[in-house]
Amino acid sequence: MKIEEAIEQGLPLEIEIGPGHVRAIGNLLKVGGKWVFADAGWDEPMHSSHQFHILEGEITGEGPWKVGRHIIREADRHWRDEIKKWMKHYRETPTLQQLLLDNIKDSLSLDD
């Protein structure tokens, strides 16, 4: 399946950004022609100040997916519940959707 289908289906995703370094993806979207992901829980006050990440290049594959040197896959059990909880919170809080876009654009200097 294409990454867009996985996002539409609400599959919990994780990204391996380096050997042994995996992050839970809270949101994955295209902004300003670039793929960007936000860490799960990015709106929590105690969250890292580096919660938005630009992915260089196009996402390819049918799952797992590749973008540059990174691998995106359906989250394993370690992250699955946390990501699903975050996704439910995000869907049930419409103001977060605009806040996400605003924060991404501001912190990464991206346009629509």
pLDDT, mean of residues 99-106 = 72
| Pair of tokens at residue 83 | 């990501």
pLDDT of 66 reads 94
CA gap 24, 40 in Å, rounded: 6
Selection from 1, 36, 94 nearest residue 25 by Cα:
36
Instruction: Break the chain into its structural domains and give their ranges.
Output: 3-108
3-state secondary structure of 36: strand
pLDDT of 85 reads 78
| pLDDT of 112 over the 60 cut | no
pLDDT, mean of residues 15-20 = 87
| pLDDT of 89 over the 70 cut | yes
Element (H, E) at 10: none
What global pTM score does this model have? 0.77
